[in-house]
Structure 1
Amino acid sequence: METPGIMLSGGTQIFHGPVTINIYKRSTKDRVSDGCDYNRPVKRAKSADFYAHAKYTDKFYQISNYPKGRVLIVNNEFKDEHDERQGSGKDVFDMRHLWSNMGCGVTVENDLSASKLLERVQEFATHQEGSDFCVVIIMSHGREDDLIVGSERGEVEVRSVVELIKSSKSLEGKPKLIFFQMCRGSNAQKMHLDGEGFDTDESSWINQMLCDLLPNGKVFGSEQPEADATAEQYVGPTPDVMLAFSTQPGCVSFRDPTEGSWFIQSIRKVFADKAAKHDVETLMRVVKNDLRKKEVYMPGTDYDKAVVTMDGRSSFGKKRLMLFPGFPKPQKE
């Protein structure tokens, strides 16, 4: 595979043998206004808002600790391999920057085998004393039936990761945010799915931008395969869980080799701009709508005009989670 190149006139250009593929998300001007730089500031909440929300314990999850939450980021990059997840390093940098500025303690794990991934998630979920919420972000190649690919090419079921977090005694009653940046199949989605979701990646012989497995499937239209599990099924009746996938069951996900993945970068942008005034469920609705603006440009292939619809579900019930960037402030010794 040849080295990916960059088109400065509005799109990213990927070279593969005799085939040249352009991925156009939006114009260069739009990208700049979206704040694709590494130092995008996180807008801080007002102290009056923080203390006002603290009174309504029946409507809002209480935020009182510092660090307020703990974040685990797992990134399998597959560096120097034929399916290296180029751009994932920027995703890690931006997520660490975002959640640190939210007042959270952040742990980053790189290139974990299937067994080590489960081990790290279990350790993380077990030791959550003194935190108000937790965030788990898994970024890797993925396969059909929601299998996460470990660094040694072993497989981990998404369900196993979710169950470790849901069953943690130290996380009872606390919000648990789980994000998966990965392909869930080889199909290209051609129509946006409204679904319920929040509305009530990447190794390819054709294009490294496209997916986390070989894209040999049919074009995915407006109907979901019945056998594939959705975020709603993973969350189930367990309260206080939010789960979001970067794409729908059976479909590819998207990643730019220089700017990072569409899903993670949208989370970064939306949370940095709007977390000061909006709850997490509202933020994820904005992320979903932001992803709807993106489209793949690959004339002559099944992936031309492919789109992404995020798959997400929350079981927060009537409570809302406000992140309050900048509050509470760390206590002096």
Structure 2
Amino acid sequence: MANEKEFHAHVAKQKEFYPITNHPKGRVLIVNNEFRGEYDERLGSDKDMYDMFQLWKNMGCRLTVETDLTADNLLLRVKEFAAHQERSDFCVVIIMSHGQEGDMVVGSKKGKLEVKKLVESITSSASLKSKPKLIFFQMCRGSNIQKIQADAGIFDTDGSTWINEMLREVLPNGKILGSEKIEVDATADEYVSPTKDVMVAFATQPDYVSFREIKKGSWFIQSIKKVFTDKAATHDVRDLMSMVKEDLKKNIVYAPGSALHEGVVTMDGSDSFGEKRLMLFPGFPKLHK
């Protein structure tokens, strides 16, 4: 939890910090396309969804959760969410799904939607003008396999089925050191929108697959959970994302002779917050009854 003295000092420095005065302070939309019961079901994504819900609830936000939306319904739901932000200090949108090259989000019935359209539907909202907007994408962005470091396990992807087949060729038994099962889901990168007051973060670099562990959740989402839980009381969002970048480098894969053997998961990019800083201050402002 944040320190009350620090919070009031923050309130007095509104030129340096984005104002945090409402309760709930922010609104969060979590969309998890799990593809339940389908051949490419995103096993383990329910843990990511639960952890993100708990994280932002503890930050003092109002949450909305959607699952298995078609591409059309995803865009519609994000537009509706962004249009009603008059009483929030910031908004957070978390999209977890399959993805394809060209920054395309895959909907529940295999329709596709450009990331650009989703971002624009948020940044163009009049009720979000001058307010910080955090947008996270947990999805593949292509079929290339980065040189990575990650926990050992069985691999799958948040991309197309043929990527999974390719990985099974690389690792015929589907295992590395007989550990956890892992699906391809994430490294980390940030997409920069020309619009002010927005941070858009991807779980992987352009053209690459991303990784998710079946039992533990995706590396990117779990790193956000860990870093924000431990450090949000004392660090701003830009610093927190830098810590996520460093935390991702700790993941290690050991697969001698395969395309996945030893490397580094990196995160790169920036935001358009300018000189302003966004402090989340979990626990503040307090709700006065």
TM band (smaller chain): 0.7 to 0.9
- Partners of 1:306 and 1:143 lie apart in 2 by 23
Contact 1:243 1:312 in 2 (8 A): no
Change in 2 beyond 3 A, CA 1:115/1:106: same
Contact 2:70 2:110 in 1 (8 A): yes
Contact 1:77 1:110 in 2 (8 A): yes
**Counterpart selection for 1:69 from 26, 45, 52:** 26
Counterpart for residue 80 of structure 2 = 123
- Partners of 1:158 and 1:301 lie apart in 2 by 32
Contact 2:32 2:97 in 1 (8 A): yes
**Counterpart selection for 2:204 from 242, 247, 262:** 247
Counterpart for residue 188 of structure 1 = 145
Counterpart for residue 223 of structure 2 = 266
One-letter amino acid matched to 2:250:
K
Counterpart for residue 159 of structure 2 = 212
- Deviation digits for residues 192-250 of structure 1 (CA, Å, limit 9, x no counterpart): 9xxxxxxxxxxxxx832x44223359x9xxxxxxxxxx844x412x1100111011001
Counterpart for residue 235 of structure 1 = 193
Superposition pairs of residues 92-171 of structure 1, within 5 angstroms: 92-171=49-128
Counterpart for residue 4 of structure 2 = 47
Contact 1:147 1:155 in 2 (8 A): yes
- Partners of 1:212 and 1:146 lie apart in 2 by 11
**Counterpart selection for 1:321 from 270, 273, 278:** 278
- Partners of 1:292 and 1:190 lie apart in 2 by 11
- Partners of 1:188 and 1:272 lie apart in 2 by 30
Contact 1:296 1:307 in 2 (8 A): no
Superposition pairs of residues 275-286 of structure 1, within 5 angstroms: 275-286=232-243
Could you tell me the percent identity over the aligned residues? Answer: 61
- Deviation digits for residues 80-99 of structure 1 (CA, Å, limit 9, x no counterpart): 22211111000010000000
Equivalenced residue count is 262
CA deviation after TM superposition for structure 1 residue 188, in Å = 1.1
Structure 1 portions without partners, runs of 5+: 1-43, 193-205, 220-229
- Partners of 1:83 and 1:70 lie apart in 2 by 30
One-letter amino acid matched to 1:235:
S
- Partners of 1:279 and 1:50 lie apart in 2 by 12
> Is 1:90–2:37 an aligned residue pair?
no
Contact 2:147 2:259 in 1 (8 A): no
Contact 1:113 1:153 in 2 (8 A): yes
- Deviation digits for residues 72-120 of structure 1 (CA, Å, limit 9, x no counterpart): 0000001122211111000010000000000000100000000000000
> Structure 2 length normalisation: TM-score?
0.86
- Partners of 2:158 and 2:94 lie apart in 1 by 18
CA deviation after TM superposition for structure 1 residue 190, in Å = 1.8
Contact 2:71 2:108 in 1 (8 A): yes
CA deviation after TM superposition for structure 1 residue 309, in Å = 2.0
One-letter amino acid matched to 2:54:
H
> Is 1:302–2:259 an aligned residue pair?
yes
One-letter amino acid matched to 1:207:
F
- Partners of 2:72 and 2:264 lie apart in 1 by 33
Structure 2 portions without partners, runs of 5+: 171-188
- Runs of 4 or more, structure 1, over 4 Å off, are none
CA deviation after TM superposition for structure 1 residue 303, in Å = 2.3
One-letter amino acid matched to 1:212:
G
Contact 2:148 2:262 in 1 (8 A): no
CA deviation after TM superposition for structure 1 residue 306, in Å = 4.9
Contact 1:114 1:150 in 2 (8 A): yes
- Partners of 1:116 and 1:66 lie apart in 2 by 29
One-letter amino acid matched to 1:260:
G
